Amino acid sequence: MTLPTLAEIASRETLREGLLATVDLLKRRRASEINESAVEGYIALDWMEWHGGSLRLTTTGENLCKHMTSLLARNGAQATA
């Protein structure tokens, strides 16, 4: 097993931070605004896949989005308390 490099970890974190915004662009049918290298990264991480010419979340990507959304909701609730 090979450990990821710092660059790979940084890239993964950058992609993770932008995932919800990317999903929002997909939902609004504005995929052309998504950076091509980001798309390649999401596919390499198995967070997205091509399906019939359309980009969509994989099960892993859906689960990550749900997790991130719940963290944001939890942090928002703590901030207002």
In sequence order, what are the beta bridge partners of 58? none
CB-facing half-sphere around the CA of 4: CA atoms within 13 A: 9
Calculate the CA 69 to chain-centre distance: 11
- Torsional sign, CA 21, 12, 10, 38: negative
Give, for all 81 residues of the chain, the pLDDT tens digit. Answer: 777 788 888 899 999 999 999 999 999 999 899 999 999 999 999 999 999 989 999 999 999 999 999 998 888 777 665
Q: Are 58 and 49 in contact (CB under 8 A)?
A: yes
In terms of pTM, does the model score above 0.85? no
* Domain spanning 6-80: CATH 1.10.760: no
Domain ranges (residues) in the chain: 6-80
